[in-house]
Structure 1
Amino acid sequence: MENKNFDVIIIGGSYSGLSAGMALGRSLRKVLIINDNKPCNRQTPHSHNFITHDGKTPKEIGELAKKDVEKYNTVHFYDGTALKASKKETGFEVETISGEKFKAKKIILASGIKDVMPDIPGFAESWGISVIHCPYCHGYEVRNEETGILANGEMAYEFSKMIFNLTKKLTLFTNGKSALTAEQSDKFAQNKININEDEIECIEHDEGKLKNIVFKNGKSVPLKALYAKIPFQQNFDASEHLGCEFTEQGFIKVDAMQKTTVPGVFACGDNVTMMRSVANATAQGNFAGAMVNKELCEDEF
């Protein structure tokens, strides 16, 4: 790539990044999308709750999106990993893991997050297939089935309300002593939701399709699906490289315009919100692209 100066660099080329790229491409902006091709849902067999694409594979939706964005000749693509970014006098510089450097007036962080899997054999292999995180993305397909929730305490209580709407065949697995309050435990009993405090040994599955939860005491429970709330890490450390502030939950802090706490840096998608879905990432990306273009227009007028 000869010219390495751009109006906007987008770090991350999944749904949010591509959507931002389209908005900017249609605004005649010279854009570089840096993408490592490792979306967090790459193991998920089908994506749901995204109108016009319901039931397609995440890969298929991503490929269709990229084809749409490629129509705009001001949008360029770089396959690789953004290693770091820094503020310069006239904008920003982004360096890739291979050592290449690119400059831009603005940056959009659409870099997503990485799920941190618990040390339970079979969990990672089943993640996104039958061990799932989102009732809106996956819940309809396992409605009324034998279902578990792997969580504890307040999070388990709040999450169970949503899953109870989809199935009454529900068990809460706390993987150790329950941290529910007496009042919360009574509510579970009223709704006939089992609470299992046994420590988990492993998850038995067939190519990611859950069969049994096996416990350290030798017992097991057959299941069709297991919801889990697990920790995550940012794919790109915007705090270290750019000084962006984070929320208490670990997301990049943005305002209503998708602006981070660093002027000229915007963020969108899974790295800024707990509402993880293709539809939401796409919408946020489109809006972020529009807001960046608006700021560039104001700078240039």
Structure 2
Amino acid sequence: MIIDCAVIGGGPAGLNASLVLGRSRRKTILFDDDNPRNAVTSESHGFMTRDGIDPKELRRIAQEELDKYPDVKIEKQRVQSVHKENGLFQIETVNGDAFKAKKIILATGFKEILPDIERVKEFYGISLFSCPFCDGWEMRDRPLAVIAETPRGFHLAKVASNWTEDLIVCTNGKQIFSADEKTVLENNGIQIYEQEILSLIGEKGFIEKIAFADGTVVACEGGFIAPRWEQASSFGLSLGCKLNSQGGIETDGLKRTTVEGVYACGDTLIAGASQLIIAAGEGSMAALSVNAAFIEEKFE
């Protein structure tokens, strides 16, 4: 059987894309290997009517809603390869199953590579986060730290300062700021620690101190990390999609990639763009674009 559209990735973008496709009566398969990037997160914020919801619960509700639409099927398995042959996308899973689709939506997102710092994974998702807009409110007015090993730390520090006046920046031994950037941060009361971090200190996921290799210890009660981002899958590259300057898949305003029949949405486009509501909206746009393409083909 040839389906209309395969959606790869079961996060907010892929789920919303599948919903719109199902409501448009397009035979759709959503591939979800149940390995979300935000698995460590206990609450999602910034989505009206769902502020503070557990991401697992959000996915459960979304999948339950998709069950209402007979043209949408959820395959809970990982896609291994995708290629185009004779105008159709050939999809193979790690279980050895094969599918054919007329169009494809990539919603696979990015994966985070955390700095190599002792105990960092214990605190990530509980008191250390990557997105101030997602988690800054819960940590407002506390002593916070920004941990960054790349120049992105300058922007992250400026954004994080919106929620606290007690902020430090730790570069873990890396020289990431220009002299002008250091001046800007220091003039705004943000102290910079360029020493190597020995370890993070705290209990049950809640950070209390940062210990540096030179013996310095600084107190903090939370903060933000600037992770390194990588595409979670190589499907875009293997299909020949062009990447943008941020390493995401390049699309136009309708979420069409540079490859005919391939669409992309959500975190797959921009590393670190982790706002739930934005990803869901982009999934909707990708699905609308797929549907519009089918309608135009029908009337050609």
Does structure 2 retain, via aligned residues, the 8 Å contact 1:211–1:223? yes
Distance 1:30 1:153, change over 3 A: closer
What is the CA distance between 1:182 and its match in structure 2?
A: 2.4
TM-score by length of 2: 0.95
Farther off after superposition, 71-80 or 174-183? 174-183
Give distance in 1, aligned partners of 2:258 and 2:240: 8
- Secondary structure of the equivalent of 1:162? helix
- Secondary structure of the equivalent of 2:266? coil
Does structure 2 retain, via aligned residues, the 8 Å contact 1:251–1:272? yes
4+ residue stretches of structure 1 with deviation over 6 A? none
Structure 1 residue runs of 5 or longer lacking an equivalent are none
Which position in structure 1 is the counterpart of 2:76?
79
Which position in structure 1 is the counterpart of 2:295?
297
Give distance in 2, aligned partners of 1:53 and 1:235: 26
Which position in structure 1 is the counterpart of 2:229?
232
Which position in structure 1 is the counterpart of 2:243?
246
Distance 1:58 1:181, change over 3 A: same
Farther off after superposition, 187-196 or 100-109? 187-196
Does structure 2 retain, via aligned residues, the 8 Å contact 1:122–1:205? no
Which position in structure 2 is the counterpart of 1:7?
4
Give distance in 2, aligned partners of 1:231 and 1:153: 8
Paired residue total: 298
Alignment of 1:177-188 (within 5 A): 177-188=174-185
- Secondary structure of the equivalent of 1:136? helix
TM-score by length of 1: 0.95
Which position in structure 1 is the counterpart of 2:104?
107
- Secondary structure of the equivalent of 1:258? coil
Give distance in 1, aligned partners of 2:92 and 2:202: 41
| Aligned-partner residue type, residue 40 of structure 2 | Q
- Secondary structure of the equivalent of 1:270? helix
Describe the superposition over 1:203-236 as per-residue Cα deviations: whole angstroms up to 9, x where unpaired. 2232322122122223322211121111122122
Which position in structure 2 is the counterpart of 1:137?
134
| Aligned-partner residue type, residue 294 of structure 2 | L
Matched, 1:279 2:293: no
Farther off after superposition, 176-185 or 190-199? 176-185
| Aligned-partner residue type, residue 242 of structure 2 | E
What is the CA distance between 1:168 and its match in structure 2?
A: 0.6
Give distance in 2, aligned partners of 1:26 and 1:159: 39
Which position in structure 1 is the counterpart of 2:156?
159
| Alignment counterpart, residue 27 of structure 1, candidates 14, 24, 29 | 24
Which position in structure 2 is the counterpart of 1:194?
191
Give distance in 2, aligned partners of 1:245 and 1:38: 25
Describe the superposition over 1:121-153 as per-residue Cα deviations: whole angstroms up to 9, x where unpaired. 221232222111111100111011110111256
Give distance in 1, aligned partners of 2:285 and 2:178: 41
What is the CA distance between 1:287 and its match in structure 2?
A: 1.0
- Secondary structure of the equivalent of 1:28? coil
Distance 1:178 1:240, change over 3 A: closer
- Secondary structure of the equivalent of 2:267? coil
Matched, 1:96 2:93: yes
Describe the superposition over 1:242-286 as per-residue Cα deviations: whole angstroms up to 9, x where unpaired. 111111221111111001111000001111124211111111111
Distance 1:26 1:153, change over 3 A: closer
Percent identity, please. Answer: 35
Farther off after superposition, 166-175 or 118-127? 118-127
- Secondary structure of the equivalent of 2:209? strand
| Aligned-partner residue type, residue 215 of structure 1 | F
Which position in structure 2 is the counterpart of 1:55?
52
Alignment of 1:246-265 (within 5 A): 246-265=243-262
What is the CA distance between 1:154 and its match in structure 2?
A: 4.1
- Secondary structure of the equivalent of 2:223? strand
Matched, 1:204 2:198: no
Structure 2 residue runs of 5 or longer lacking an equivalent are none
| Alignment counterpart, residue 175 of structure 1, candidates 172, 175, 179 | 172
Describe the superposition over 1:1-31 as per-residue Cα deviations: whole angstroms up to 9, x where unpaired. xxx4210000011211110001000000100
Does structure 1 retain, via aligned residues, the 8 Å contact 2:241–2:259? yes
